[in-house]
Amino acid sequence: MPLWLHQRALLTPERIAYETENSRLTFHELDQSARQLACILSSKGIAEGSHIAVLQENTLNFVRTQHALMYLHAICVPLNLRLAKRELSFQLADCAAGFLIADLATYEKAQQANTNCQLLTIEQLLEEATDTLPQPVLQREISLNDPCTIIYTSGTTGRPKGVVLTYGSHWWNANASLINLGLRETDEWLCCVPLFHVSGLSLLIKNVIYGMPVFLCRHFHAADVHQQILAGKVSHISLVASMLQRVLDDAGAARFPDTFRCVLLGGGPVPPVLLKRCLERRIPVYQTYGMTETASQCVTLPPEYMQAKAGSAGKALFPLQIQIDSGTRPAEAGEPGEILVKGPTVFSHYLNREDATRDAFTDGWFRTGDIGYLDADGFLFVLDRRKDLIISGGENIYPAEVEAVLRLDTNVTGAGVIGIPDSAWGQKPIAFVTVHRSDAFDADDLIALCRSHLAHYKVPKQVILCDELPENAAHKLLRRKLYERWLQENPSNPL
Amino acid sequence: MPLWLHQRALLTPERIAYETENSRLTFHELDQSARQLACILSSKGIAEGSHIAVLQENTLNFVRTQHALMYLHAICVPLNLRLAKRELSFQLADCAAGFLIADLATYEKAQQANTNCQLLTIEQLLEEATDTLPQPVLQREISLNDPCTIIYTSGTTGRPKGVVLTYGSHWWNANASLINLGLRETDEWLCCVPLFHVSGLSLLIKNVIYGMPVFLCRHFHAADVHQQILAGKVSHISLVASMLQRVLDDAGAARFPDTFRCVLLGGGPVPPVLLKRCLERRIPVYQTYGMTETASQCVTLPPEYMQAKAGSAGKALFPLQIQIDSGTRPAEAGEPGEILVKGPTVFSHYLNREDATRDAFTDGWFRTGDIGYLDADGFLFVLDRRKDLIISGGENIYPAEVEAVLRLDTNVTGAGVIGIPDSAWGQKPIAFVTVHRSDAFDADDLIALCRSHLAHYKVPKQVILCDELPENAAHKLLRRKLYERWLQENPSNPL
């Protein structure tokens, strides 16, 4: 298959590829700058198959970097901007990145986290002259089986795993979504989700495959997003529930234009009260279920079922299949079990983690670890996120990862982290700990410890001292019991 | 990947799948009847991998048959309704079809042509009770590499070749077209091209993948087509130039509704005068270039270039690549050569024809045999159809095939067939012959001979006696010289 940006620039060179608050770029222009950057990167030693870490804000430079790497068949490892130094260092070492391409805004953080790889800044790279550089061999084709990006996701053990997504994973996701949502020549997708997440990255891919303009926001500001929607050019937007809520708060009673035809709502469960607001305002919400391993959404609920199937994540996208494993699979309708996914968008493997990869698949089905059921009409209802996953503002927090940090304090003997409801972010993490000496316990110290090791969003908002943590017979922590305990003591649940 | 109809019926069971003049069918209903038919076919002995010939008119029964065969992983061989008995017999024998499924309208023809395979009629099959039948294993998944259909195309030697199209060829064609044309929830495609051609068959495939209703016409009647367009529900139609001309003749000055957004115009070159009429009437025409071997269109010209790039077939669909081989390929812009196509829609192989398959590919590129060039902007211009191919009303006529029949007459020493312009059909075939004894020459006898061996559309409209046929030094017939000779004698070229 032809390389996507190369083909797109050949087919529709003059079409707008990207808009930002203060610029516009055609596919031809994007292609030219990506080729130029590829030349420069090649001259630095970046070659086919290299792992290249990218720590950049949501700007056109990120887009150029990703496409330049594709032109070199190098593998992009986008890093989460919110990660703490130690987390970044782990990921850089784990993927053995030869280069880290930062931008001016992230340079300091990159420098602190970086240990072994060559640090470049995109702004400087783009200023280099290319006239004197040797012309590298720019790839013009791709193979769908080749790795394209590696995105880290925190695992259940607290040790993040690099999810290897092939060109095929991305291609099939874009196509599956196309069949589901359709495409008009006037479509334009607003991207205010991070490009380092699979949700944002999937828009970067759709952009070139569909030939559809993307309005790219550097940061998420509810007022700006709302203004863009009202301006009438934006047709689609990807959001998580907490963002949508802020956009609606900002929007007041203003009516969204008819050309605005899709809010693709991912990143965890959606509060019913939010859906009700959207229904009242006739905002077309497509609830989705997906994860990095499925290259973004794999199950979607169209707006016509928002009421009839409230609480459902919908049905599989066309090339995908969902099955419930309740011990004897496939489960009966209504019978809960682990959600399995099969299809060409599913990731290839976890980097350097043969064991985890093996555990993740049964007979070609990917085991999500999430619990859910299919109703008699085939709609998926997600009951429980995998391994007590906490989702806060669309970011995943694995309790085990936070607990491991708390246990670094020598006074701490045990730790349990749960998510509690939060009106702004959906959920927020809090921690329960047991200690050797209660007189040496200081909640603020523990929070500071977490802050130094973890991305801000993962840091417990509260650390509660307790006598013992609930366990099962095998001394496995029962986080659900912790939640029940919390609920009893905080009956005025805000949601 | 899930089997397409199975998945579609799971995702959107209540959506309309087909409309005809007097019926409507949801995807659930289509699925039910296809499954039932699969049961019955299985009980007759049709199993995975069997070649099953289908000789049926453009009705829902054809659609049911194709899907039932997919449920059994049997391979459908759709036969051209216009073929003569001998042509049908050859194809049935060549693909070693175990069964021939006809309908009441085609039964007699099927009976005459059939020699070795079991003849079934779809109307009788559908009346059989299924309650007492053993439940066969209906397939629920497909592999894109598996063969799906075999469609015969006459070769340059006059001996038709079975083009083996995989599920992947069809899937990629549907997806490539989706990226190109977009999709709206209100789209509906009118199908008045034969389902036994790849053009009609591709609509049967798009229908289940897109979840888009198809309005199916048993026969092409310009007035009916025009009426359906004016009724405002139809958004797309596939036509060849001669059909479009008749629709426009019938339409008079009536304005087509805005919801009608695409005439996909295939089957050979389009007369400029016809394009001009469409431009004046603001009818959005997408000229296409494609063939059975590429599973329908592979190059398309969007309407915005109808004027600027008049005469061009357009650019490759997204997953495909076009290259011109002028001896040293790729050729320069403007330099003519053989048109090569590469990409996942390209057919797998010619059935039982290793030699022809080998000759058809160079380094993974399919050699179309057609001559053309790419201009500086990358637009394809087709100069000459492969091996003097004649295209009459969208049907391909290979001169060599007709010439071989003419030479069956013992008095005929040489024959040359060419296409001359025809206002209704684009082209029509005429023949030049040399004979032993001119007193024994009878043009009507030769036409009758052709009629008994060939589909009607292939029969020369005129047979002209001449002293000698133009040849090159290697005694190869120069059909272009024949055409020049004809043009000199008929200066009032109707087009």
Does any CB of chain A come closer than 8 Å to the CB of residue B183? Answer: yes
Question: What's the topology of domain B389-489?
Answer: GMP Synthetase; Chain A, domain 3 (3.30.300)
Does any CB of chain A come closer than 8 Å to the CB of residue B11? Answer: yes
Architecture of A4-142 per CATH? Answer: 3-Layer(aba) Sandwich (3.40)
Are the Cβ atoms of B7 and A343 closer than 8 angstroms?
no
Does any CB of chain A come closer than 8 Å to the CB of residue B175? Answer: yes
CATH 3.40.50.980 residue ranges in chain B? 4-142
Are the Cβ atoms of A184 and B179 closer than 8 angstroms?
no
Written as tens digits, the pLDDT of chain A (495 aa) is 999 999 999 999 999 999 999 999 999 999 999 999 999 999 999 999 999 999 999 999 999 999 999 999 999 999 999 888 988 999 999 999 999 999 999 999 999 997 789 999 999 999 988 778 888 889 999 999 999 999 998 655 567 899 999 999 999 999 999 999 999 999 999 999 999 999 999 999 999 999 999 999 999 999 999 999 999 989 999 998 888 988 998 877 788 898 999 999 987 777 778 888 898 888 999 999 999 999 999 999 987 888 888 889 999 999 999 999 987 767 889 888 899 999 999 999 999 999 999 999 999 999 998 888 999 999 999 877 666 788 888 888 888 788 888 988 999 988 999 999 888 888 899 999 999 999 999 999 999 999 998 999 999 999 999 999 887 666 667 888 888 888 888 876 544
As a CATH number, domain A170-386 is: 3.40.50.12780
Cβ count within 10 A of residue B211: 23
ipTM over 0.95: no
pTM: 0.86
Q: Specify the DSSP element, H or E, that contains A228.
A: helix A222-231
Are the Cβ atoms of B211 and A179 closer than 8 angstroms?
yes
**Which of A8, A175, A316 is the closest to B175 by Cβ?**
A175
Q: Specify the DSSP element, H or E, that contains B6.
A: helix B4-11
- Say which residues have a Cβ less than 8 Å from residue A280's Cβ, sequence separation at least 6: none
Quote the CA–CA distance of A292 and B104 in Å, as a whole number. Answer: 54
Quote the CA–CA distance of B445 and B455 in Å, as a whole number. Answer: 16
At B224 the three-state DSSP class reads: helix
Report chain B residues whose CB lies below 8 A from the CB of A321: 2, 7, 141
Nearest-10 Cα torsion for B432, B435, B441, B445: -60
- Beta bridge partners of residue A287, listed in sequence order: A265, A301
Question: At residue B5, what is the residue type?
Answer: L
CATH 3.40.50.12780 residue ranges in chain A? 170-386
Does any CB of chain B come closer than 8 Å to the CB of residue A182? Answer: yes
Contact of B226 with B247, CB cutoff 8 Å: yes
Task: Quick: pLDDT tens for B284-329.
Answer: 999 999 999 999 999 999 878 888 888 899 999 999 999 999 877 6
Question: At residue A402, what is the residue type?
Answer: V
Tokens 């109707």 appear where? B494
Does any CB of chain B come closer than 8 Å to the CB of residue A438? Answer: no
Report chain B residues whose CB lies below 8 A from the CB of A185: 182
Instruction: Please tell me the total number of residues recorded for chain A in this structure.
Output: 495
Contact of B341 with B294, CB cutoff 8 Å: yes
How near does any CA of chain A get to the CA of B72, in Å?
19
Cβ count within 10 A of residue B493: 9
User: Measured over all CA atoms, what is the biggest interatomic distance in chain A, rounded to whole angstroms?
Assistant: 70
How near does any CA of chain A get to the CA of B176, in Å?
10
How near does any CA of chain B get to the CA of A218, in Å?
28
Using the 8-state DSSP alphabet, how is residue A308 labeled?
Answer: T
CATH 3.30.300.30 residue ranges in chain A? 389-489
Mark out the alpha helices in A281-384 (DSSP H runs).
Answer: 354-360
Quote the CA–CA distance of A301 and A312 in Å, as a whole number. Answer: 7
Backbone angles phi, psi at B73, to 5 degrees: 55, 30
